[in-house]
Copies of this chain bind each other. A is one copy, B any other.
């Protein structure tokens, strides 16, 4: 298996990306195709115990920035790392692609270069949230605005396959993110989506409120990209404020400092639960080849968990299963729509 790794455009620089990748290579029998400044990357490879023969390079120093228009940039910046990496994926020079660069550019590139699976109308950014039973799949995390109920039903079908194949859930429970748990709640889109999901052959268990995102009461949570992004970033924001507040509280006096040392085991578990670096990267479900988005602020640990997730995704043939079901997913959609 060969993974294509975009080393450019990440907030914390290429070093964290390369270090995380090399870490995975110590335990996983994978090859890597790095996209970025080959000279810089080679220095880090030389300092590691990884056999340089397992690594190849695509040289570039260009990348797409967050404030650039994604679609225009993908079309015009032919030497941008995401463009080069996705083209290499398309040409079969690797089995999956991962980037911590511009989310918008990766989404646009996933659609324009990698392309969608036939009969799938939209690709969805798919996050695995922490939960007591080992994770809940949430999609769409922000790739699509103004989605239709039909798109949401397709997301639910793809999310079910992901939960089944990667998280090994039998008959995954699908829930709809909504403002109340009762049927009939929500805006026009969620009400119509509720009806579509209820009529589908998915294991639809009804609405879930965002206060229960981490409960593990369901295996797949489906939502419009706007709502999904709002929920996830609220989650991230609160977790950050809480961890900062605990840290400041503990540093406040000698007494609390001592207490902090004693409760450390309790708090480090919490830190791990709320650290997105522990959750790997997010696949763009619906593309013809594996495209993964790592958090923009990824450290080496995030890349490590991200590549692990990408490897599992490839090993479990997720795209093949979605492709097999795509005609019925699409058909059901057209019949309902």
**Chain A contacts to B: CB under 8 angstroms:** 66-67, 142, 145-146, 177, 179, 182, 186-188, 190, 209-215, 224-227, 229-242, 245-246, 248-250, 252-253, 255-256, 258-267, 269-270, 273-274
Contacts and interface: CB of A to CB of B under 8 A. Distances in A.
Given A227-B226, A238-B238, A211 B233 contact: yes
B266 A249 contact: yes
Interface residues of A, dominant DSSP: helix
A133 to B, nearest CB: 14
B270 A265 contact: no
12 contacts: A145-B187, A209-B233, A210-B233, A213-B237, A213-B238, A214-B238, A214-B241, A227-B227, A230-B234, A238-B239, A249-B263, A258-B259
| Residue from the set A212, A237, A240 with the largest chain B CB neighbour count within 10 Å | A237
Nearest to A225: B179
A249 B269 contact: yes
Contact of A230 (B215, B225, B227, B245): B227
Contacts of A186: 145, 226
A255 B245 contact: no
Nearest to A255: B262
B265 A262 contact: no
A210 B190 CA distance: 21
Q: Which residue among A142, A236, A262, A273 has the maximum number of chain B CB atoms within 10 Å of its CB?
A: A262
A236 B238 CA distance: 9
Contact of A239 (B242, B261, B273): B242
Contacts of A266: 246, 248-250, 252, 256, 259-260
